[in-house]
Structure 1
């Protein structure tokens, strides 16, 4: 899985092919100017229709689903470093909404007619080496507008294609039960599949094993708890499904490149990482 460093990043263009899941510790905002986006995120298929804007915490593993029909798309992206977002003044309960495993989708008109042209300005500012503070301030306003209007999590109403249905069932079961002491065999049984076949099917479709997918969710939940609560590391470990502090420490350090304690300190104190490209 591709794990990118958090960074202030802005882009506009067609939707890129995304064969594997990836994650990055940013709040991601997508604006579907022309064409739509469909994600696999947190065990669900989520659609961002044309003319809509979406926001989600990108530490949750996600990837774009290739469109069924070729489309000429025009999509705007901005990645806002989570450390910066959490320092902003936000409405009560907003941090919990942002750090959920869901997606807020709103009509782009609800967040302002100026939003799409703003992406071009942001790109030019970052490319010129200008102070990124202005982009972050305007990004703050965009997040507030999405929070004000994005009351409903949007999910594609259509069922997944036939060959993805068992994979979707396993992904959903994992997303809903990763905090419990479940195993890949339990996930396979939830989809009424033989464990060996389930593992092969899931890996060939998603690109990771069932065990790796389970670990992804637990890591993301541990990140959320470390940033939004004062729970001890041991308590975070149990709440996120690791079972012990030593298990959390080993898996978290390998996945994130630092200990849980260091992650909490560096993501809640100091300056956000900024960049103009990814």
Structure 2
């Protein structure tokens, strides 16, 4: 899935395997239960709870709770591009909580709003260019309230704590990649942004993010190429260059591996 503002109400989709998408995912369980698998760890989201997590973490929906009939639950979903989330300027301890390989679970009442109505309005507003900014600001406030509740619950101190040890370095690397993936950057550049030796940076990044720096860098470039193919008339050579790929052959290889089809075929499908 391409990174974009998106909201939907409906049953839990069937997932035969884990997947990734480079944005913040928000799940609200109104009725029933969502059972996830995050990198081998099972996590349940119960009725009245909101789950926040970075979609780059490999995750798979494995059910709606024991004995539940498929499609019987009531769920609301929203996706917010990671680039927009990083631009919010969240404290590192809050951002770090969402970048871990597990979701942040918070009771919906912590938002202090009618969350169901808010999600329903997002479905309409995210599809309207004129209203997307308003919905985006509302989504930011919503996420901030939930993260504040989460921080207070686990007693993290905002006056100097950055969440798990070393997570601030990972955040530095993610910020750098998201802001510079169109440039010819390498692992050493990403490591330098966090003041780490490249070998240590690769270890820390993989441990906390669940992928290598190169994999994440490539994913950002592929996502940008998808956006350009779908929304512009640029040639594939121009798309390859604009998305940060060093050559057309590299672009074709990485794009086809990630999307299961060549760039030209992808463009034909989405336009």
TM-score of the superposition, structure 1-length normalised? 0.58
Q: Is the 8 A contact 1:225 1:231 kept in 2?
A: no
Q: Which of 24, 27, 34 is 2:24 aligned to?
A: 27
Alignment-derived partner of residue 33 in structure 2 = 36
SS in 1 for 2:90: coil
Q: Does 1:226 align with 2:173?
A: yes
Once the two structures are TM-superposed, the CA of residue 129 in structure 1 deviates from its matched residue by 4.1
Larger RCO: 1 or 2 (CA < 8 Å, sep 6+): 1
From 9, 12, 16, give the equivalent of 2:13: 16
Runs of 5+ in structure 1 lacking a partner? 154-221, 264-278
TM-score computed with the length of structure 2 as normaliser:
0.59
Q: Secondary structure at the match of 2:79?
A: strand
SS at match of 2:130: coil
Query: Match for residue 87 of structure 1?
Result: 87
Which residue of structure 2 lines up, in the alignment, with residue 58 of structure 1?
55
Alpha-carbon offset, residue 262 of structure 1? 4.8
Aligned to 1:232, what secondary structure does the other structure show? helix
Q: Distance in 2 between matches of 1:109 and 1:252?
A: 34
Q: Cα deviation per residue 1:116-161 (whole Å; 9 max; x = unaligned)?
A: 11111111123344331111101101111110112469xxxxxxxx
Q: Kindly indicate whether residue 145 of structure 2 is the aligned counterpart of residue 145 of structure 1.
A: yes
Long gaps (5+) in structure 2: 155-168, 177-189, 223-242, 246-271
Deviation track 1:59-104 (CA, whole Å, cap 9, x = no partner) reads 0010101233234211111111110011113235222122122211
Q: Specify whether residues 26 and 255 from structure 1 end up closer, same or farther in structure 2 by C-alpha distance, changes over 3 A only.
A: closer
Q: Is the 8 A contact 2:170 2:204 kept in 1?
A: no
| Counterpart position of 1:74 | 74
